[in-house]
Amino acid sequence: MEVSFSQHLPDSTPRLDSDTQQQLYLVPYRWWKDAQDSVLGDSDRKGIVYAASSASLYGGPMKIINNIFNPDLMFNLRREEDNARSKENGEVGVSGRDFALVSGEMWVQALRWHSDSKLPIKEGRIFSAAEDDMADVYPLQLRLSVLRETYSLGVKISKKENGAEFYKRACKIFSLESELLHIWDFSGQTDLFLLNEKFKPLRDCQPSSEEILLDLQVYGLSDSIKCRDGKKDEMSVQNSSMANSSMNGTTGNGNSSFFRTASFWGSSGEAGSLGLTGLQNLGNTCFMNSSLQCLAHTPKLVDYFLGDYGREINHENPLGMNGEIALAFGDLLRKLWAPGATPVAPRVFKSKLARFAPQFSGFNQHDSQELLAFLLDGLHEDLNRVKCKPYLEVKDGDGRPDVEVADEYWQNHLARNDSIIVDVCQGQYKSTLVCPICRKVSVTFDPFMYLSLPLPSTTMRTMTLTVVNTKGSCQPSPYTITVPKHGKFQDLIDALSTACSLEDGEILLVAEIYNNHIIRYLEEPTDSLSLIRDDDRLVAYRLMKETGQVPLVVFMHQRTEEQYIHGKMTSSWKAFGIPLVARLSDSICGSDIRNLYLELLNPLKVCAKKASDNLDGPEGTASEDSTQNTVNPDISGTVNPSVVKEDNSPLDDKLQFYLADEKGTSRESEILMNEPVILSKRLNVLVCWPGKCFEQQYDTHLLCSLPEVFKSGLFAKRPQESVSLYKCLEAFLKEEPLGPEDMWFCPGCKEHRQASKKLDLWRLPEVLVIHLKRFQYSRFSKNKLETYVDFPVDDLDLSTYIGHQNGQLCNRYMLYAVSNHFGSMGGGHYTAFVHHGGDLWYDFDDSHVNPISLEKIKSSAAYVLFYRRVVEA
């Protein structure tokens, strides 16, 4: 690196002679150390050692000062003492973070030595630098100033004076983000500069107002910027004046905001490589990297955190984190936007995150949206400009205009919450609750940070259920319905109610049948239909609506079956058929149980003639002969037929009733006809049929034929359809009843009610974050929706969805980032797509950053969408 010293004065910039003796080169220390024995004498083997240290910015230490507001690289060179210089005999220089400053003559001699070591030179030939050697030299201008009393030099490298490409290279060379950086001055020029009479040390610690301009020549340090094919970048042999324009074609200005130029955020201009820095995966941290990249490319947040944000940190907020999250995020964002930055390892940020949010500690995969929600809230509290939050009582609307009430709610919110996050990311929606009993209406206006939109399924599912009448008026009948594949249980109830013409005073009780008994009741309207498998068998019982807690009776059936065991005919009791369900009155006895059961069997009776023919046949005789005397259930849940007493009463009277558990296991307590029955919420009764002669009176085939929910091959599967983002928004804004766990306390009824809720967008933020609810959780399972959402890229128009039209603000948005989730719930991977000016999009996949075509932005992996408001001319 060749350097000419010149004193930079207000009126003139005199320079020393620029012959070879006055030129200074910056070279790799290892390269120089190999040749210095032949170039220097023993007395000059030790150079003057300088260690690079941080400059300061905004009152605090910074490792490097360079951002879009101040495009200057600034650091200090502190002269080391002998103990530091002794490192020369150790491993100094191995890391590549050590350089030598030599004169032009020294550089030529060292170059000669390296050339001789490779190819002997003929005697008498004059040595000259080869073309390849000269191509590896490029200029760099530095400004030096004396830091008085500290015996140090202040160094400033301006992007304006060096051009974008050379400035980028300088940032790589002098980066202080990793190992320490040392420079050995073997030329002696810096020592002369420090001891110059004009810059003698003074008592104050202020830097000198005078600067020296150094024209350096950099040699042997371009490997880090070579192209992938091994060829040197074309810029390595161009003069710095050819690249003396800023990244957008304008002259660099340290006081201007690069992000406020239209060429980066949406015009056809190119933004260069600023911000195209990946994040290393520390172990299942792709979820964090995805959200961070989206936030790190949010325009106003970038402007804010590259500026003087430290003065707004709220150390007094008990809801905050003492500014640690804001500082960690700001430091990480500055590294991502440093010119020439390499992939960053976000270890400090992750450690802070784990400290304040232990759910994100360790190395398990997490949800990028959950991380985003915590981070936005944490940044808001750390940067909340309100130091003392006032107590504000929420007032009821009392018939006032919505505009007045909404503004009052918003001003109350701002009185307690005022930060860059509120300025950029928070909006307001209107929430309307209506009591189903007294029709009381409650209207509130609440802030939101993001919108979580459901995915209305356009893929339908065919399901078959058997509907059983509990009045004994009709036979069980199967119904086939079509419901959304990813719908809720309420969707099934609605479709089945329509199909079976359910009356107003009736309800459906859906149950799953397995091994002839009920194993579960499907009563939660919000449960996902994914909990129902295709091979399940479901029954829907039609019951009358009851206001009180009316008990149910569940009848399960058993009959005798004969089989040969070891050459001997034996009989045993086996369960069969669909359980029958009915409501009970308050007080009943055993005969009431029997009559109710016979009433439910009435639709199953065969015609009288067919029953008579069956009774006269040999089967009837065999049935009578095989009838046993008494019934005594054994411990296995089957009834022992060997203890059935002979009874000449009518066949109906031969039915035996036992109290049982839900699985039909008898409890050895027979229900006697004339004794009262103790009722419970659900009374499970096991009914033992007396013999095949009884079966001839009823068509048991109707009880035993229970179809599966879906039989493969019976219906053709429909192709997956897409759903538009607007449909998702409409589903979010649709009126719906609150769930049983979200009951609303009605001020009119003075009781908790399952009110209906309606949302409306009222005030939209500048940056709109939309979360697509792809992950569904229930008590029994987890599921990911692979629905393709067709979302606008250039023009998301929300004008028709906004409840309050503000003529001063535009309701159109432009997409600038997407957080994606690929794969399943357990083994997925997160990435980010980011807009980088014009038609340029980039795929941020942890440490890898690659261009991506606009056509690939939309996919079924899109999880969180980031929109910014379009600024109309």
Residues annotated as catalytic (active site), given as ranges: 286, 829
Task: Please give the structure tokens belonging to residue 616.
Answer: 């006269």
Separation between Cα atoms, residue 568 and residue 448, nearest integer Å: 76
> ∠370-373-378 over CA atoms, to 5°?
125
Q: What does each C-alpha distance from 414 to 411, 508, 644, 661 come to in angstroms?
A: 5, 49, 81, 60
User: Containing H/E element for 35?
Assistant: helix 29-39
Written as one letter, the residue type at 297 is H
3-state secondary structure of 352: helix
User: Please, are residues 789 and 772 in contact by the beta-carbon 8 Å criterion?
Assistant: yes
Name the DSSP class of 399: T
Residue 176: CB atoms within 10 Å = 16
- Tokens 């004169």 -> residue: 103
> In this structure, what DSSP letter does residue 390 have?
P
What Cα–Cα distance (Å) separates residue 814 from each residue in 550, 731, 792, 799, 870? 57, 22, 8, 14, 6
* Total Cβ atoms within 10 A of residue 873: 2
Q: How far is CA 19 from the centre of its chain?
A: 61
The first and second tokens of residue 64, run together, are: 């490097």
DSSP class of residue 479? E
Residue with tokens 């979302």: 791
At 38, which amino acid appears?
S
CB atoms within 10 A of CB 509: 17
Look up tokens 């029954």; give the residue.
539
Is residue 760 exposed (0-12), middle (13-18) or buried (19+ Cβ within 10 Å)?
middle
Rounded to whole angstroms, the Cα distance separating 770 from 792 reads 12
| Torsion of Cα atoms, 415 then 420 then 423 then 428, to 10° | -70
Closest by CA position to 854, among listed 840, 838, 872: 840
User: What does the DSSP assignment read for 802-846?
Assistant: BSS--TTS--EEEEEEEEEEES-SSS-EEEEEEE-STT-EEEEET
- Distance, CA of 386 to CA of 626 (rounded, Å): 89
Q: What SS3 class is residue 642?
A: helix
Task: Tell me the sheet residues that pair with 462.
Answer: 482
Q: Which residues contact 542 (CB under 8 A, 6 or more apart)?
A: 467, 468, 469, 470, 471, 500, 502, 506, 507, 508
Structure tokens at 204: 């104050």
**Rg of the chain taking only CA atoms, in angstroms:** 41
